[in-house]
Amino acid sequence: MERGVIEVRDLVKYYGGRCILDGVDFEVPTGCIYGLLGRNGAGKTTIIRILMGLETATRGRTFLLGENSRRLEPRQKSRVGYVAEAHQLIQNYKVARLVALCKGLSRRWNDKFFKQLMDTFRLPMERKVKELSGGMRAQLNLALAMAIEPEVLILDDPTLGLDTVARRQFLALAIDLIQRDGRTILFSSHILSDVERIAERIGILVAGKLVVDCSLDELKNRIKKLRVIFPQDAPTDLHMTEIIRQSNSGREMVITVANWNQQKKAMIETFKPASCDEIPMSLEEIFIECTHPEPMPDQI
């Protein structure tokens, strides 16, 4: 079997005795756009930093393009584009100097494409990076990452801190660039609508554990939110596995279940409900259901 372009195997990371990643295991196949989701501090950036060789793992291994990411050679790195969280570029360099540095260190540099991007973004080459707005820095970072024509693109919350207009502009262009060449992409974000627009496969991190790792369609099929109305009060003795959330209110029961199947459906039908309707869920709603630490006070 062909190995994934990005592989994370049993990844564990401790910071000062606190467990940040607890046995994370996933794979991104060639050409796949993988959206990594999680709340603040869930460990998304840590995974990406370990993948990029900026951080060491306490246990486990990560592979990029089939090589251990701790020991990536420049040859392999030249095939990976990286847009860091908060766009950590060299702040006191002029844009032109930063571009020259990246160009000088790259093995492939598509000058024509880069110029096109710079024209589109209208980035001033003579201004210092620190004088650019957050949106401009994001665009510069994306342009630098794309100019090397990477086979793998790693985007760590690239729209963080951007206003709505800048975020939309950035994403529109990113989607266009990403879809053009069928690249493998690992994309982490807080903004789930962004991920939903781009990602084919989703990973959801909760407190350092990967609780979801499947395709977006599969996720939507597997996690169901149902509104069940019973002839009398909703039963409190519904013992079903993999209930993510359940709330009862008089005759109504709203239940979110993982791995929805015929057996679970049959189990609900034994209580003879008057109606059982599926409530459509967006990725954002699924994410909230999966990552909410504990049931709301009014819920069971």
Partner 1 sequence: MNVRILNRCRTKYNSRDIKMFTLIKRELIDNIALLLLAAIVPAIIITIVIKGVLEGVAYLPIGIPVIMVRILWPYLLCGAFVAAGCGAAQMNDDSQRKLSTFLSVLATTRGRIFIARTVLGVMLILIMFVPLVVTDVVLLKIFARPVPLDMNFLIRSFATILATFVCCYAIGLQVGWRSSKLMAILFGVALSAALILVVAIKGFGVESIIILVLFTVASLIWTWHKFLSLPL
Residues engaged in binding partner 1 (CB under 8 A): 49, 52-56, 73-75, 77-78, 80, 82, 84, 88-92, 101-102, 104-107, 148
Neighbours of 277 (CB within 10 A): 10
Residue 84 or 123 having the CB closest to partner 1: 84
Q: How far is the CB of 92 from partner 1 (least distance, A)?
A: 7
**Radius of gyration (Cα) for the chain, nearest Å?**
22
Which CB, 85 or 284, lies closer to partner 1? 85
Q: Is 283 helix (H, G, I), strand (E, B) or coil?
A: helix
Judge whether 196 and 283 are in contact, CB under 8 Å.
yes
CB of 119 to partner 1, least distance (A): 23
Residues facing residue 157 across a β-bridge: none
Which residue lies nearer to partner 1 by CB, 16 or 231? 16
Q: Return the biggest CA–CA distance within the chain.
A: 73
* Tokens 């039963």, residue located: 235
Q: How far apart are CA 34 and CA 17, in angstroms?
A: 30
Contact predicate 203/16, CB 8 Å? no
Give least dist CB 170 to partner 1, A: 19
Closest separation in Å from C-beta 72 to partner 1: 8
Nearer to partner 1, 82 or 230 (CB): 82
Give me the least distance between CB of 195 and partner 1, in Å please.
Answer: 22
Give CA–CA dist 28/8, Å, rounded: 9
**Distance (Å, whole) CA 232 – CA 250:** 8
For partner 1, the closer of residues 135 and 150 by Cβ is 150
Cβ(38)–Cβ(21) under 8 Å?
Answer: no
Q: Which is nearer to partner 1, 36 or 64 (CB)?
A: 64
Question: Cβ of residue 146: shortest distance to partner 1, in angstroms?
Answer: 14
